[in-house]
Amino acid sequence: MLSCLLIALLLLLPGSRHRTEKAPCFHQLNPIVSHDGDLKIGVFLSLFSVEVNQVIGAELFTNPPNKACKPYQWLLKNYQQALALTFAVEEINRNPNLLPNLTLGFHLYNAYHSDARTLESSLRWLSGQGQLIPNYSCWGQDKTVAVIGGGTSALSVQMGPLLELYRYPQISYGPFDFSLRDKVQFPSLYQLAPKDSSLHKGVVLLIVYFEWNWIGLIATDDMRGEEFLWEMREEMGKNRVCVSFTEKIPVSERRHTESQETFMPRILISSTMVIVIHGDTDSLMILRYSDAPIFLTQKVWIATSQWDITMRPLYRFGQNFHGALTFSYLVSEIPGFKAFLKTVTPSKYLDDILLKGFWVSAFRCPDQAENPEQDICFPNASLETLPLCSFDMNMSGLSYTIYNAIYAVAWALHEMLRKKLEKSSVGDEKYLILHSWQLHSSLKNTKFLHSAGDPSVVNENRSSKGSYTIMNYVSSELFWTIVLLIVAKSIIVDHSTMLLLLCTMISWFCLFYSVPCGVCSDSCGPGFRKTPLEGKAACCFDCTPCPEQEISSQMNAERCTKCSEVEYPNKQRDHCLSKVVTFLNMKEPLGKMLALMAVSFSLLTALVLGVFVKFRDTPIVKANNRTLSYTLLVSLIFCFLCSLLFIGQPTTATCLLQQTVFAVVFTVAVSSILAKTMIVVLAFRGVRPGSRIRTFLRPRVSNYVVLLCSGIQVIFCGTWLGTSPPFPEADTHSEYGYIIIRCNEGSVLAFYCVLGYMALLALGSFTVAFLARNLPDTFNETKLITLSMLVFCSVWTTFLLTYQSTKGKAMVTVEIFSILVSSVGLLGCIFIPKCYVILLKAERNTLEQVKNKGDSGGKILCEARPYTSSFGNNRLK
């Protein structure tokens, strides 16, 4: 951060920028460079930018550009193309096997980004000697066989129709354009640049590699730019990358200044962090020479194809493009080219005025422009000492294509001459005269190997696809240096793309210490899902937590997924955990406590039974039907013990026994209480001699009541087991994070019918006992039965209400607790008071004590003797 602020302050200091000299006038005659040879090639290169002529129409041809002062600016790095041209021509002329007895020469012209100036340059080359005379040539005997030009598609289109009138082969060295393959419209146009049909895939692969998804696109406003935008949108859509904005740059030079005020601000104020630029260097001049505050351009620029970002002057906020990634054609090293560049000086090419002008501009010779006769400055300097923004010692993609183009023409001439020599007779020199239109047949099928050993073809249908290197633009305005680092090799073959990226070597914009975040919305982490925003692109979204029972384990998940039945989400909801299998276990504290209570109460009940058996001949035991008391106590023992069936892992056997055993033994207990209540009421109400009620006081009747009531419950349970019996099941929803093994009732209707029948018996016992509560209580237990039934009904009413709202182990615990409490209620209310009298108040357990009661009580008791004697030894004594 401190280094960035220091750079900004240095840039704002007076004199911190390089001195901008007044642009000199452009007085050069066309051609600007001419190289003698037996056969010549016309070459059009963009070497400097000249102010557009505002004169249009017929006046254009009456106002020669060399007669007026036209400010111009050198495109210094493009001069390598002119040197590649010279190097190739000299290399071919030294080769005795390629064009024996013939030499190649060239006429070099400057190409302009202007329809009028391009047409003007083409006519000047066709006419010669600086004249503009259509259909007339002043070149005399010069034999021009081909034209190399068209660094951009626009220039190729502008030059093509005029050159086609004279059937001149035009070889375009600019980026490959599929629209120029139309041989009906461009029959004499050939493209040597490799196809970049996979370039958009490489760019999107780089974007996906850094996980960017909010991308701005800038392309030239022509067919090639439109085709690239269409391919990028399609490829980005496949990889879920969104286009934030699209800008088209006019390719006409005269519109550069018109769009600069509105074009750059729209890009700079955009929230988009990553911007892809597609186009050639000349058409993107607006980006190269636009001034913008440094703090507004914290962007990641991805330049493609032929745009040379280093041509931007460093003193014009070169830091704005620091960290840019550039796709460059992967070209082979031409043997001897670097050595040739090191030897290039104005003294070596004294007649080359273009080299002299380049030297003055590149080395910033003082006052050289005002005094052309002055000796050239730095005559012994080398091109390799120039900064990267002025000259590059590594061969560029355009220079490599120009080199191939010269060789393509040479090999086509070689093949044409060979065929002519085979057909001509000795001394027939007229037959060996070459015409430019004759070159087409040889040029279409030219295939050769140049000095680098790479195969080259002119046939566009066989043109190979391009391979690229990814360069990292690193600028330091503090030391006025620019470096291009190779950080990746993207090898594109057919439809497959392989990217090898050394991301640790990339130098990003100085405010970024790591890979910049080029997204519309921050990524949704695990546990969240993307929620689209209405009216926004798919890459703009909110992050919503996953619902319950759902997770998302990946970044930017489109939807959450449910865990399986045996799993549950963790708190972060980013992965599923296995549920713990659980049940009311005998080993856990709750299970141990309930089991201990059941066994303890069953032993207590057995103890009470033992007391009653031991004191079976006492009046208090005889008066209450000893058989029913024994039956009730035994059933209570089983009631306590049946709760053990609910503890432990449920199995098919335990599930079948749990509810049925519980229902039968409780029905026996409640039936015994009902029988006891009926007998007590009948004993105290039916006292008249000869009453028919006496027949119901026999022991067999009470036994029949118990058997009848219990038999009905057995029928209910048998029907339940025969139709829809209980079974063990895994409950995965009742308790979070657990799988509860419990018994499913099978038929809920049968379960509630069983409980309802027990409730009916209990309600009947409670009603009868309540109505007989005021009977004499020496041997009368109706009050105790009333209290016990009140406890019983209260417990099971509460159970039914609680059972509906509990799940899992709690449901089983509630039922066990209800069984124990209701059983304890019966035991405590009916038998504990009697045990108290039997064991601690033996004096009250005698017939005399009964007789000493009050008159009313004693009278009723005496009247009841014949009926109560049947419970003992036929009479009370």
| Lookup result for tokens 């009631």 | 639
Burial class from Cβ neighbours inside 10 Å (0-12, 13-18, 19+) for residue 154 reads buried
For residue 775, what are its two tokens? Answer: 């009977």
Q: Please, what sign has the CA dihedral across residues 751, 752, 754, 755? A: positive
What sign for the dihedral angle of Cα 612, 613, 618, 623? positive
pLDDT exceeds cutoff 90 at 560: yes
- Three-state secondary structure string covering 768-799: HHHHCCCCCCCCCCHHHHHHHHHHHHHHHHHH
d(CA 218, CA 283): 12
pLDDT at residue 259 tops 90: no
146-156: average pLDDT: 81
**Tokens 């005379």 — which residue?**
133
Please give the backbone phi and psi of residue 801, each rounded to the nearest 5 degrees, phi first.
-70, -40
Is residue 220 within 8 Å of 273, Cβ to Cβ?
no
User: In this structure, are residues 530 and 558 in contact, taking their beta carbons and an 8 Å threshold?
Assistant: yes
Q: For residue 545, what are the CA distances in angstroms to 436, 532, 556, 737?
A: 73, 14, 12, 19
Do residues 629 and 610 lie in contact, with contact meaning Cβ atoms separated by under 8 Å? no
Q: How far apart are CA 71 and CA 26, in angstroms?
A: 6
Distance CA 542, CA 527 (A): 13
Domain 589-871 has CATH 3.30.365.10: no
In the predicted model, is pLDDT for residue 446 greater than 80? no
| pLDDT tens-digit series, residues 206-226 | 898 888 989 999 888 878 888
| Angstrom distances, CA of residue 515 to CA of 194, 216, 506 | 31, 17, 9
48-57, 429-438, 554-563, 749-758: least confidently modelled range: 48-57
When pLDDT is averaged across residues 32-54 and rounded to a whole number, the result is 78
Give me the percent of the chain exceeding a pLDDT of 90.
11
Say if CB 485 and CB 470 are below 8 A apart.
no
pLDDT of residue 856: 37
H or E element that contains 244: strand 242-249
pLDDT in tens, 294-335: 444 678 888 876 677 777 554 444 456 778 888 877 778 889
Residue carrying structure tokens 């859509």: 237
Most confident of 526-530, 534-538, 847-851, 862-866: 526-530
Q: In 128-186, which ranges are continuous DSSP H helix?
A: 153-164
CA quadruple 317, 322, 324, 330: dihedral sign: positive
Give the mean model confidence (pLDDT) for residues 506-526.
78
State the residue for tokens 């012994």. 380
Q: Specify the amino acid at residue 758.
A: M
Whose CA is closest to 266, among 310, 241, 296?
296
601-611: per-residue pLDDT in tens? Answer: 999 999 999 98
Burial-class residue 4 by CB neighbours within 10 Å (0-12, 13-18, 19+).
middle
* pLDDT tier, 528 (very low <50, low <70, confident <90, very high otherwise): very high
Comparing CA positions, the residue from 219, 222, 217, 153 lying closest to residue 189 is 153
Strands (E), 683-745: 727-731, 738-744
Q: Among 23-27, 343-347, 694-698, 859-863, name the most confident range.
A: 343-347
Of 300 and 254, the one with more pLDDT = 300
- For tokens 């045996």, what's the residue? 566
User: What b-and-e string marks burial along 128-138, b requiring 16 or more CB atoms within 10 Å of the CB?
Assistant: beeeeeeeeee
According to DSSP, residue 827 is labeled: I
Per residue in 684-713, pLDDT (tens digit) is 665 555 555 555 556 677 778 888 988 998
Q: Burial code of 411-431, b = ≥16 C-beta within 10 A, e = fewer? A: bbbbbbbeeeeeeeeeeeeee
Structure confidence at residue 187 as a pLDDT band (50, 70, 90): confident
**Strand 214-220 versus strand 274-278 pairing type:** parallel
Q: Dihedrals φ, ψ of 691, to 5°? A: -70, 140
The per-residue pLDDT for 860 is 35
Tell me the pTM. 0.66
Tokens 């083409």 belong to 122
CB count in 10 Å sphere of residue 330: 17
Give the dihedral sign, CA 281/284/285/291.
negative
Q: Which residues contact 791 (CB under 8 A, 6 or more apart)?
A: 821, 822, 825, 826, 829
- Choose between 30 and 840: higher pLDDT: 840
Q: Quote the pLDDT of residue 637.
A: 92
Query: What count of other Cβ atoms lies within 10 Å of the Cβ of residue 616?
Result: 13
Distances (CA, A) of 372 to 110, 356, 363, 368, 376: 21, 10, 15, 6, 9
In the chain, the amino acid numbered 448 is F
At 607 the pLDDT is 93
Determine the pLDDT at residue 875: 33
Type of residue at 182: D
How much is the pLDDT for 254? 45
Is the predicted pLDDT of residue 9 greater than 60, yes or no? no
Nearest by Cα to 831 from 629, 598, 639: 629
Residue 20 has pLDDT above 50, yes or no: no
CA dist 784 and 620 (Å) reads 14
Winning range, highest mean pLDDT, from 137-151, 296-310, 361-375, 512-526 = 512-526
Q: What would the mean pLDDT of 723-734 be, rounded to a whole number?
A: 86
More confident residue, 279 or 226: 226
Class of 26-195+333-460 in CATH: alpha beta
- Check residue 688 and give its pLDDT: 55
- Predicted local confidence at residue 744, as pLDDT: 85
Average pLDDT taken over every residue of the chain: 76
CA 511 to chain centre: 26
Domain span(s) for CATH 1.20.1070.10 in the chain: 589-871
Q: Decide the pairing of beta strands 580-582 and 738-744.
A: parallel
Q: First vs last Cα of the chain: how many Å apart?
A: 115
User: What is the Cα–Cα distance from 213 to 516, expressed in whole angstroms?
Assistant: 12
The pLDDT of residue 14: 36
Say yes or no to pLDDT of 291 above 90.
no
State mean pLDDT over 747-776: 81
Can you give the pLDDT at residue 70?
59
pLDDT, mean of residues 545-566: 89
Degrees to nearest 5, angle at CA 166 with 165 and 170: 95
Distances (CA, A) of 440 to 97, 412, 415, 463: 22, 8, 11, 17
Query: Taking 70 as the threshold, does the pLDDT of residue 561 lie above it?
Result: yes
Pick from 25, 66, 68, 74: which is nearest to 46 by CA?
74
Q: Token digits for 519? A: 């997204």
Q: Which residues, in sequence order, are bridge partners of residue 551?
A: 561
**Which amino acid is present at 868?**
T
Q: Which alpha helices (H) appear in 95-222, and where do they start and end?
A: 115-127, 153-164, 199-209
CA–CA gap between residue 308 and residue 444 (Å, rounded): 30
Helix extents (H) in 615-698: 619-622, 626-642, 652-685
Going by the DSSP 8-state scheme, the letter that residue 458 receives in this structure is -
Decide if pLDDT at 781 tops 90.
no
Whole-number percent of the chain with pLDDT over 70: 72
Residue intervals of the chain classified under CATH 3.40.50.2300 are: 26-195+333-460
